[in-house]
Chain A
Amino acid sequence: MAEATVNTSAAPAAATGARAHEPSFVYLVKDALATGAIALALAFPLVGFRTVDRGSTTIIETRFGQMFLGVAVIALGRFAFSLIDAGYARAILAGSGVLSVAWLLLVAVDPGGAAIFPLGWMSWMLVVSVALRAAYVSWGDRSEARGDAVSPGDRVAATVQRLAVFFGPVLLLFAIAMPLLPMADQRWVDLGILVLTYVMLGWGLNVVVGLAGLLDLGYVAFYAVGAYSYAIIAKTFGLNFWEALPMAGGLAAMFGVLLGFPVLRLRGDYLAIVTLGFGEIVRVVLLNWNELSNGPKGIGEIPRPSFFGMPFTPAPPQGVTSFHQWFSAHLWEIGFSPIQRAVYLYYIILLLALLTNIFTLRIRKLPIGRAWEALREDEIACRALGINPTNTKLTAFAIGAMFGGFAGSFFATRQGFISPESFNFIESAIILAIVVLGGMGSQIGVVIASIVLIGGPEWFRDLESYRMLAFGGLMVLIMIWRPQGLLAFREPTILLKPKAGPP
């Protein structure tokens, strides 16, 4: 096979470093300039001006410096990318690699040095992204020349999936031990809670999107329903968290069925649009139905979770033992600290997330779970096999919504205050991004994607206002290298001989 392709014109070129055709520099320069011109046309109104509030008047400031800088970066980046594609990948790799290392060294010598560069850390990230692309092109071409069907990314993903057998428990042990580690301060535990909340939401949405293949852009609606149900039930009936939780989950599941009915016959884009609308409707209703939801002011003083009836407060009312008093009396002496409640919340969300995961792993092996996956693959074949698509879709919506509702209840009890503000479309988008980036249907992928997407912006905090830009850049990079998601490698649910893995 390899010999047969040598005679085609592309093969020798690929073998000698991918110099597909001699690039005309004039053409590349023109191309880069044209890109810059388009960027300029876009940036002129968007970046070039900004409005500033000066007391009673609004004035317009110009930012042409920043604008030209950005345009220059885009044109240069385009030029670098076309050089890479024209067969100079190695040269660009060397150049950008040296530049980025030099940049790091400079900053290491003088920590304030990053400020010299016009975009701070961003300039480094840009150079690194060029280097990564160059590396990818030179490596990617090589594996093609060898005739490998499976890309290196796929092999890594398959390995990670297989290692998940060991990696999963390690991650779990870390998650259990994390709040007890010496480095775990309030910030760490809070970040852990945040990441775990999104892991749970990701796992819940994974049932709908990953397994059943129903693109749901309004998942935040169920998160909101869960949060408001919990807040209202707990406040009105004086129930505690564990009593109100199943009711909130059940209500969210009912909303899942409610959404499911009208969209039964929709697929793909149309389904996405209707679910998006559903998410907005729920938010707008919450915003306007003052009697129920207290409108934009939101609901406050939501009961905080208590540890078997013991609250986490420094000075509990007469006759009530608070957690730290009980702990001091029975185990060892501790004072009150707000971190105790944070740690408790952390374990609650860990437990809820694990429940979601175990449930999903189990149900994948049951007929209903298999029907979900089959429905994602081929609805007509499903019908021919006696699957009832209506029930199958509705259960997927209901169960996904139920987990969203649980997560919402947790959110409400953790915050103590909720308002429609917290349930914007952007939340749906983030949760969906977690599922898609994780590789639809991959459980461990959701964990990794949550850590990257939720933890990432926190780690990029030093970048200050460029934080979201860096975050967006990271997403673009993932989309370039793993458009199918980080771990899009489906584990079979049934193997006859335990050792006989997929070939």
Chain B
Amino acid sequence: MSTTSTTTPVAGAAPDPAPGAADPAPTRERPVRRRRRLSPGRRLPAARLAGPVLLVAVWAVASAAGRLDPAAIPAPWTVFRTGVHLWTDGTLPSDVLTSLERAAYGFAIGLTAGVVLAVASGLTRTGEALIDGTVQLNRAVPTLGLIPLFILWLGIGETFKIAIIAIVVYVPIYLNTHAALSGIDQRYVELAEVQGLSRWAFIRRIVIPGALPGFFVGLRLGVTGSWLGLVVLEQINATSGLGYMMFQAQNYGRTDIILVGLVVYGIFGLLSDSAVRLIERRVLSWRRTLSS
């Protein structure tokens, strides 16, 4: 990103001019050694992909060597072929679309609810009194435990699935955003008063930017939560979607289809997490952290 670059060269680079090399040191003292850096150093290129690629490689080698039972873990190419097949005959795209739609609706509703509730309860005392205790109570009940009740209330259709995903998403977003909003540095509040900011300007210039790091923590948990909710819901009771496809494959003993489903879930998760990371890096570019 456009953050300031680290100036320390990669370890093992050509002997770099030690600090103070400009002035000719007549003494025969040991050249200044740079201290061992404690931050992990520069990112390896495409570092995030290295682990998964290695894993697939091991899997492929083991399959080719016949060390894996193909009924339990089919070879990568079998899975790939099944995936292509499912995609071209149209079942996979329609299932993926159904699942994505569920996740997107649930996520959007959960995100909105989480942010609105957090702002209402973080910025007003009335809101805090009404909302915070209620959400904390809600948090104490594991959301997936609400499934039977929600089925009775909302029927077994899409509404109930979206509702459950929304709840799974809103809780972490609310908790983290609220904590960030109410933990705003008192010194900045004082500064805002001194500078004569209006209430709105105070919220816009200080409260919101100050709470963004906390919000992003919640957002990432929310994204993960939405996939988790999706998987559970689709595998318990659905008549369409990725989970349903996998559930049926289980009945026919088709591990390859199950693996295709898992891979697609994995891609969803990876892509959405990367998207959030990217936005976070953009928005929080002022932060210089260990991972910058």
Q: Do A and B bind each other?
A: no
